[in-house]
Amino acid sequence: MKKRLLYNELVKYLNHKNSLLITGMRQVGKTTLMRQVYEEIKEPKLWFDFDNPLDQKVFEDEDYKVIYKRLIDMGKKLGRLSVFIDEIQNFPEITKVIKYLIDHHSVKFYLTGSSNFYLKNLFPESLSGRKFLYELPPLSFQEYLYFKDVVSLKEVQNFTFQDAYKKNNTFTHKARIAEYEDFLTYGGFPEVITTEDKDTKIMVLKNIFASFFEKDIKILSDYSDIRELRDMILLLVPRVGSMLDVTRLSSELGIDRVKVYRFLEFLQGTFFIRLLPRFSKSIDRAVAGGKKVYFADTGLLNLIGKVSEAQIFENAVINQLSSYGKVSFYNKRNTAEVDAILDRDTAFEIKLTGTQQDLSRLLVLSSELGISQSSVVSKRFQEKQGFLSPVVF
C-alpha cells in the first residue's frame, strides 16, 4: 500500500520523547498512515481505537500507575512501550494520562484525531512541548500522480514549488491534463482516487459526507443546529472564491452573526472548508477583514452542489498552493484583486484561459505590494513566460 508523504516526516521522530498527533478530515488516511508507522515499530507496542468503548476502558482509572501496569501487562515484553490511539477526541480525559505516562514512564504515543475543533481544547497547556502536531489533508495533485503511478515516490519527495516552472511545458500539460480533470471532479481522498469505477467514486464521496454528519457534528447536540449547519454548507457552495458576507449569511439562515461565526469556526476546525485570509503589508492587519471561502476537497464540493468550472478550478488551485505554504488573497477596495499570494512573496491570478492582460494587471498589483514573483495559473495551457499550468505543481 502506498504511503502518504507525511510518513517520511513521522518516522524521523520514532525515538523522540514527544507524542506524534495526526489530525485531518475523516477518510484522508490517518488510520492507514498510523498503521504503517505501527509496522515500523518493534515490540512492545499496543493499538487502541477510541471509537470502541472497550478500548477506552483500558485508560479509565483514577490511579495512573494502575493504567501503566495494565499497559505493560498487555505489551508482554520489556522495553520502551509504544501506544497507538486512533480517534482520541472520543475520550478527552486521555490527555492527563498521556502527560503522566510520558513524564514518568517515557511511553511513546502515536495519536490521531479528526478535528482541530475538538483538539484545540483537548490538549491542556501542560502538554506543551510534549507533542508534535501534523495535519494530513486530502492528497495534493503531486501525491495524486504518485498514487496513480504517473510519477515516482522519489519525484514527489524531492519536489518543490520552484520545480513547477521547470516542468511547465506543452508535453507535461498534455500528458497530465486528463488526470487533472479527474482530480478536479473527484478530489483527493485516497479511497476515491484508488477506485476506478466512477459511480463507486460517487458512492465513496457520499459515505464520507454522511460520516461527517454522523460523527463530526455530534458536538452540535441540538437538532436545529445540525439543520442550520447543513443549510449553511449549501449556502457556502455558490460562494466559493468569494469574500464572505457574514451579515448576509446570518439573514439568509435566520440566525445571529455569532452563530454564523461559530459554524464557520467549526467547519474550518473539522477541515471541511478553508477560509483564506486577506493579505496586508502589515502582518497585524492581515488577520482582519473579510475572508474567502473554499472547500477542502473538490470532490465533496461537486457532490454537495452546483458550481461553475471556474470556481472548481480556483478551489483546486488554492488547495494545491496551500500544500506549499500559507496562502492569502489581496483585495484593493473592491476595485482590483490578486487571487492568491503564497508565503507573502509570490502572486497568482487563476484563470480558465489566462491572457496577457491578466498577467499585466497582476504585475502592476504585485509591484504595488512589493511582490517580485507573479504567475497566471491557466487551465488552458499558454506557452508564454509568466503563465503556469496547474498540472505541474
Query: Are the CB atoms for 24 and 30 separated by under 8 Å?
Result: yes
Answer whether residue 281 shows pLDDT above 80: no
Neighbours of 336 (CB within 10 A): 13
**Lowest-confidence segment of 136-145, 182-191, 217-226 by average pLDDT:** 217-226
Calculate the CA dihedral of residues 80, 86, 92, 93 and round it to 10 degrees: -30
Rounded-to-integer distance, Cα 301 and Cα 292, Å: 15
Q: What is the pLDDT of residues 21-56, one digit of tens each?
A: 999 998 999 999 999 999 999 889 999 999 999 999
State the chain's mean pLDDT as an integer: 91
Residues 6+ apart with CB under 8 A from 79: 42, 43, 44
Answer whether residue 283 shows pLDDT above 70: no
The 3-state DSSP class for residue 166 equals helix
The 3-state DSSP class for residue 142 equals helix
Question: Looking at residue 285, what is its pLDDT?
Answer: 54
Q: What residue ranges define each of the domains in the chain, with the CATH number in brackets?
A: 6-135 (3.40.50.300), 141-392 (no CATH)
Mean pLDDT for 97-117 is: 89
Answer whether residue 226 shows pLDDT above 90: no
Question: Looking at residue 127, what is its pLDDT?
Answer: 61
**How does residue 77 score in pLDDT terms, banded at 50, 70 and 90?**
confident
pLDDT above 70 as % of the chain: 93
Quote the pTM value. Answer: 0.91
Query: Taken in order 104, 107, 110, 113, is the CA torsion positive or negative?
Result: negative
Question: Looking at residue 1, what is its pLDDT?
Answer: 84
- Residue where the block lists cell 492569502: 328
Neighbours of 249 (CB within 10 A): 20
pLDDT above 90 as % of the chain: 79
221 or 197, which is more confident? 197
DSSP 100-136: HHHHHH--EEEEEES-HHHHTTTS-GGGTTSEEEEE-
Query: Are the CB atoms for 44 and 79 separated by under 8 Å?
Result: yes
Answer whether residue 124 shows pLDDT above 60: no
Q: What is the pLDDT of residues 175-200, one digit of tens each?
A: 999 999 999 999 999 999 999 999 99
**How does residue 288 score in pLDDT terms, banded at 50, 70 and 90?**
very low
Q: What's the DSSP call for residue 79?
A: S
Q: What is the pLDDT of residues 147-175, one digit of tens each?
A: 999 999 999 999 999 999 999 999 999 99
